[in-house]
Structure 1
Amino acid sequence: MSLFIPTYFSPISQYSEIVKSDEVIFEMEDNFQKQSYRNRCYIYNSNGKQLLNIPVKHLLKESRKKTKDSLVDNNSHWQDHHFKSLKTAYRTSPFYEFFEHDIARIFEKKYKYLQDVNIDTFLFITDALQINSDFKKTTEYNVSTECNDFRHLPDVKNQPKELVEKYIQMFDIEHGFIPNLSILDLLFMEGPNAISYL
Structure 2
Amino acid sequence: MNSSLLLPAFYLPPVSYFHAIKQAGSEALLLEKHEHYAKQSYRTRARIASANGVLDLIVPIVHGRKERVAMKDIRINYEHDWQRLHWLSLQTAYRSSAYFEYYEDDFRKFYDRQHAFLFDFNFAQLELLLTCLKLNRSVHFSEAYVSPESAADLRTLIHPKRDHFWPTQPAYYQVFEERHGFLPELSVIDLLFNQGPQSKNFL
TM bucket by the smaller chain?
over 0.9
Of residues 42, 63, 68, the one that matches 1:64 is 68
Is residue 108 from structure 1 mapped to residue 112 from structure 2 by the alignment? yes
Q: Tell me how far apart the structure 1 counterparts of residues 119 and 158 of structure 2 sit (CA, whole Å).
A: 13
* Whole-angstrom CA distance in 1 between matches of 2:83 and 2:74: 17
Tell me, yes or no, if structure 1 residue 144 matches structure 2 residue 151: no
Per-residue displacement from partner, 1:152-187 (whole Å, max 9, x unpaired)? 244222332623211111101111111010000000
CA RMSD of aligned residues (A): 1.3
The equivalent residue for 2:21 is 18
SS in 2 for 1:174: helix
TM-score (norm 2): 0.92
Q: Would you say the 8 A contact 1:39–1:54 is kept in 2?
A: yes
Q: Which residue of 2 aligns with 1:91?
A: 95
Distance change >3 Å, CA 13–CA 161, structure 1 → 2? closer
Instruction: State which drifts further: 176-185 or 143-152.
Output: 143-152
Q: Which amino acid aligns with 1:174?
A: R
Identify the range of structure 1 (156-165 vs 129-138) with the bigger mean alpha-carbon deviation.
156-165
Q: Which consecutive unaligned segments of at least 5 residues does structure 2 have?
A: none
Superposed, which structure 2 residues align to 1:31-50 within 5 Å?
31-50=36-55
Give the counterpart of 2:8 among 2, 5, 17: 5
TM-score, normalised via structure 1 length: 0.95
- Where in structure 1 are there 5+ consecutive unaligned residues? none
Aligned residues of 1:14 and 1:153 also touching (Cα < 8 A): no
